Each structure stands twice: as C-alpha cells, then as structure tokens.
Structure 1
Amino acid sequence: MTTVQPVISTPDLGRLQAFYARLFNAVQVRRFPADGPPFFVGLMLGDSEVGLVSQPDTDLSTPPRILLSVDVEDVDALLDEVVAAGGRVLGPPNDMPWGQRVAHVHDPDGNLINLTQVI
C-alpha cells in the first residue's frame, strides 16, 4: 500500500495551523515533539491528512509548485472566511464544465488552494 501525505513547510506553524483549522475545521491528529514547541503537526481535513512542518528559514518569496485542492460544501460562503483567516482570494469563483464551482485562494504563506464544490 502507498500513502501520500502533503507536508507544507512554514516559518510560522501556529499561523498556518490556525488558518487550516478555521477554514476547513482541520483537527490536529499528530504532533512532534509531544512537549514544547512543535516541529511537525498532522492535520485531518475531512478524510485527508496534511502535515505542517516548522522551518523558520522557509523562503515565502519562492512561488509554490504544489496546489492543494479542497472539496468544500459552499465555495462562495467560504471566501469571506479566507480573508478573515489571513489568506487571500485570487478571484471570483467559476462554474466549470465538469460540474464543479472553483475558486483559487492563497493561505497566509502564499500556498495555492483550489476550493472546489460539486454543483
């Protein structure tokens, strides 16, 4: 069996964890080390796990090369929360010919997230 887990490097683990918790109700399921400031946290977003790793020297000026695609119940309703949680909305949502409503946003570190909703 093969498992793939995306892991996001960040200079501010707490800020990014708060963003994903607020926007997607992400729940921390793993943490290393158990005591003291965390180096790694595993977050459950629905049935998927995303890791966040603390790397103070992460260069946020480098464009991200990975897109996280997150299926949500209501793309439009979530867009105001993106800004309130510290992210950025890149444009209005669009209805795609394959039956999804899609909006592109950045998390607080500038990582691209594709919000999708089945229509």
Structure 2
Amino acid sequence: MAIQPIIVTPNLPPVQAFYEQVLGAVEVFRYPEQGKVFYKTLKIGDAELGLVAEPADVSVPPRITLSIGVDDVDALLPLVEPAGGRVQGPSNDMPWGQRVAHVFDPDGNPVNLTQDL
C-alpha cells in the first residue's frame, strides 16, 4: 500500500519548479503526453507527488501539510524563496529528535522540511 499526495493547482509550472528546485523532484509521468497537461507525477526520493492542473481557490486555508524528510533542512531554506515559496521562520530542533522548518510552496501549501537528528 502506498499513499500519494496530490496537489490541485491553477499554477502548475511554478509549483512544479518549486519542488524541483528545493527538493530535487523529477517528473516521471505526464498526462496527456502531448498538449495541455492535466496531471503530472513528480518523484522526490522514494516518494511520489501528484500535480493536477485545474482551477482551485488557493486563498482557502489548506487542510493538509506535506512533511518531507531531507538530509539538511538548513541547506534547503535559502532555496525556498528564490523558488517562489515562503519560509515561515527558522528551523528548530524538536524534542522528538528532528530539526524542522515550516515553509510554503508557491500556492501557499504548508510543507514541513524535517531532518532526523
């Protein structure tokens, strides 16, 4: 069994670019193969993230947070804003043994960058 988060976005190119530039995402699937895209799958490490190109109200507060394990949270933070995202604040060491930074992708979706300590 696998769970694949899917982001519905009216801004597919900048959202895709954010995940590519910050997390090294690689496009592994596109539908349709030619013409105006409806769906893409991005591979991030061993996980997949879907992107659906559809109108969506990005002003509505999100109800889910992506939590993505990375090797070095602090090395990625300077990449977030140039990639169109927003950093909520500095990274912090948590009592459960992770360093965590809270960021937002270009659509305002919350993303927790987590690093095991």
- Taking structure 2 as the reference length, the TM-score comes to 0.97
C-alpha deviation, 1:12, in angstroms: 1.1
C-alpha deviation, 1:3, in angstroms: 2.5
Aligned with 1:84: secondary structure? Answer: coil
Q: Which residue of 2 aligns with 1:12?
A: 11
Q: Which residue of 2 aligns with 1:108?
A: 106
Distance, in Å, in 2 between the alignment partners of 1:21 and 1:110 is 16
Aligned with 2:21: secondary structure? Answer: helix
Unaligned runs of 5+ in 1: none
Q: Which residue of 1 aligns with 2:35?
A: 36
Unaligned runs of 5+ in 2: none
C-alpha deviation, 1:69, in angstroms: 0.4
Q: Which residue of 1 aligns with 2:93?
A: 95
Q: What root-mean-square deviation, in Å, do the aligned CA atoms of Structure 1 and Structure 2 show?
A: 0.8
Distance, in Å, in 1 between the alignment partners of 2:37 and 2:22 is 21
**Aligned length in residues:** 117
Runs (4+) off by over 6 Å: none
Any idea what the Cα deviations from partners look like across 1:53-94, whole Å, max 9, x if unmatched?
001x20011001110001111111111100110000001111
C-alpha deviation, 1:4, in angstroms: 1.7
Q: Which amino acid aligns with 1:46?
A: G
Distance, in Å, in 2 between the alignment partners of 1:29 and 1:77 is 25
Aligned with 2:81: secondary structure? Answer: helix
Any idea what the Cα deviations from partners look like across 1:42-61, whole Å, max 9, x if unmatched?
00000000000001x20011
Q: List aligned pairs for 1:5-84, cutoff 5 A.
A: 5-55=4-54, 57-84=55-82
Percent identity of equivalent pairs: 58
- Taking structure 1 as the reference length, the TM-score comes to 0.95
